């Protein structure tokens, strides 16, 4: 059911024109907050954030290119991808030749509209299908972009799932793309439903979900949360989470952070087709969280990676490109990974000299009749042998080849019997 529910959220969010600032971001957070309570933050234009400054706020009401009869040959109302993001306002009449300097197409995909932005260089432009451009005759055209660039705010939202400890897991997705379903409405949907699931199970870690504009949003959050950053032990960026491709995990800058080990373990033992790639300072907001001054243990989970599918940053990335089954599968991997992350501990065997007698403690009797009794017994022996304070349960599962669930069940039984301490 969650796959269909997540897809329904993608469809609701899809028509909204989003950018790195503006009312589209606010409306997006409002819709998410119907499913997941969010604390919304407004950071004023001009606020210094690390090496950056919060930019002017951009909003757009209408935009079009009209021929001499008044017919709109390009209309923002039909697709918000038609306007280059952060276009300055313009209202002029110009020739097709003059206009061509401000038009963007994808000749290799003549029916698709590309997605283009110009956040930090004041300009304007339109995006359209190549076949629509080819159909424009010579002549004059009215060009109108009814937008504003003004003092305002950068907006982002947070949701915190309290844990038993204050150490945090940061889950991040970007909310700055207009009508692009996989990038990154799918990530927003997975994050939303993942947070709801975690709240229902009372996790060990505190989970902080960040819904922020790409790059500048993550930088703003980092600048405003210097003390909290010290509590971030693990993190995951969600992007391109709903296409039908196999899952891809991108390691943190550290390469061997606990989140890296956990995701690789879960993907490998699940039997899912997947790819694991090393960190690079290009991609989504993992590059901000993994910048050398912070060097957080934050990886990135997607299906087909950014720019790895033809529909990326085009009008073909619509709700039909996103699969409910793929959304559900991405959510399942997150669920499985965080279950391992939450339960992974190191223990000390309190009876380390020789093998303790399990029978007189009722530990063998508790296995009677179980179909996995031999595996459960073996798991107890592995946990006892490697619980020297230096091996975690994930270490034991990997070394023994036993399922993580069997190892944790053995640890729980041994804890209850007084043979282990954390």
Do 176 and 293 sit in the same domain of this protein? yes
Do 18 and 110 sit in the same domain of this protein? no
Do 313 and 367 sit in the same domain of this protein? no
Instruction: Enumerate the H helices of 14-154 as residue ranges.
Output: 23-33, 96-100, 130-134
Do 333 and 360 sit in the same domain of this protein? no
CATH at 254: 3.40.630.10
Domain span at residue 235? 2-54+153-343
Q: Was 91 annotated as part of a binding site? A: no
Do 80 and 34 sit in the same domain of this protein? no
Do 312 and 406 sit in the same domain of this protein? no
The pLDDT value given to residue 360: 84
SS3 138: coil
Domain total of the chain: 3
Cα 175 to Cα 192: distance, rounded to the nearest angstrom = 12
Do 50 and 191 sit in the same domain of this protein? yes
Residue 271 sits at the vertex; the CA angle it makes with 243 and 299, to the nearest 5 degrees, is 60
Q: Was 140 annotated as part of a binding site? A: no
Peptide bond into 184 cis (omega under 30): yes
Cα 31 to Cα 38: distance, rounded to the nearest angstrom = 10
Do 239 and 285 sit in the same domain of this protein? yes
Residue where a domain terminates, one of 95, 115, 150: 150
**Positions in the chain short of pLDDT 70:** 1, 365-372
Give 69-110 pLDDT, tens digit per residue: 999 999 999 999 999 999 999 999 999 999 999 999 999 999
Cα 153 to Cα 44: distance, rounded to the nearest angstrom = 4
Do 144 and 229 sit in the same domain of this protein? no
The pLDDT value given to residue 375: 87
> Two tokens at 304?
């087909």
Do 122 and 249 sit in the same domain of this protein? no
Do 381 and 332 sit in the same domain of this protein? no
SS (H, E, C) 370-383: CCCHHHHHHHHHHH
Buried b / exposed e along 154-169 (16+ C-beta atoms within 10 A): bbbbbbebebeeeebb
Give 113-148 pLDDT, tens digit per residue: 999 999 999 999 999 999 999 999 999 999 999 999
Q: Which helix (H) or strand (E) holds 265?
A: helix 258-270
Cα 199 to Cα 193: distance, rounded to the nearest angstrom = 10
Residue where a domain terminates, one of 127, 150, 173: 150
The pLDDT value given to residue 361: 84
Q: Was 183 annotated as part of a binding site? A: yes
Cα 86 to Cα 120: distance, rounded to the nearest angstrom = 8
How many other C-beta atoms can be found within 10 angstroms of the C-beta atom of residue 138?
A: 7
> Two tokens at 276?
């694991």
The pLDDT value given to residue 61: 98
Do 216 and 82 sit in the same domain of this protein? no
């Amino acid at each position: 059911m969650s796959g269909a529910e997540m897809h329904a959220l993608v469809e609701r969010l899809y028509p909204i024109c989003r950018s790195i600032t503006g009312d589209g971001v606010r409306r997006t957070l409002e819709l998410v907050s119907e499913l997941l309570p969010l604390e919304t933050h407004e950071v004023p234009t001009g606020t210094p954030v690390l090496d950056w400054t919060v930019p002017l706020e951009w909003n757009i009401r209408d935009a079009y290119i009209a021929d001499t009869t008044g017919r709109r040959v390009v209309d923002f109302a039909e697709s918000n991808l038609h306007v280059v993001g952060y276009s300055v306002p313009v209202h002029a009449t110009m020739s097709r030749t003059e206009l061509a300097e401000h038009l963007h197409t994808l000749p290799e995909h003549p029916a698709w509209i590309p997605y283009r932005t110009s956040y930090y260089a004041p300009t304007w432009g339109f995006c359209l299908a190549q076949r629509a451009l080819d159909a424009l005759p010579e002549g004059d055209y009215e060009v109108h972009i009814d937008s504003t660039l003004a003092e305002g705010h950068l907006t982002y939202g947070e949701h915190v799932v309290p844990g038993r400890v204050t150490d945090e897991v940061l889950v991040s997705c970007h909310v700055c793309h207009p009508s692009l379903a996989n990038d990154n409405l799918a990530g927003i949907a997975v994050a939303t439903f993942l947070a709801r699931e975690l709240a229902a199970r009372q996790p060990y870690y505190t989970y902080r979900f960040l819904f922020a504009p790409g790059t500048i949003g993550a930088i703003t959050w980092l600048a405003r949360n210097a003390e909290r950053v010290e509590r971030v032990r693990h993190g995951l960026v969600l992007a391109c989470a709903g296409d039908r491709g196999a899952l891809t995990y991108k390691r943190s800058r550290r390469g061997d952070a606990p989140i890296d080990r956990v995701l690789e373990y879960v993907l490998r033992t699940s039997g899912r087709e997947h790819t694991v790639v090393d960190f690079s300072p290009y991609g989504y907001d993992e590059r901000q969280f993994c910048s050398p001054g912070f060097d957080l243990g934050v990886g990135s989970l997607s299906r087909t990676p950014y720019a790895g599918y033809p529909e990326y940053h085009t009008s073909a990335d619509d709700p039909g490109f996103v699969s409910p089954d793929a959304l559900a599968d991405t959510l399942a991997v997150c669920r499985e990974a965080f279950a391992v992350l939450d339960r992974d501990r190191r223990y000390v065997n309190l009876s380390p000299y020789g093998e303790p007698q399990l029978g007189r403690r009722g530990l063998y009797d508790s296995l009677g009749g179980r179909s996995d009794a031999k595996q459960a017994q073996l798991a107890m022996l592995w946990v006892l042998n490697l619980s020297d304070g230096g091996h975690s349960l994930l270490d034991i599962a990997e070394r023994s080849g036993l399922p993580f669930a069997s190892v944790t069940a053995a640890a729980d039984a041994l804890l209850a019997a007084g043979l282990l301490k954390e």
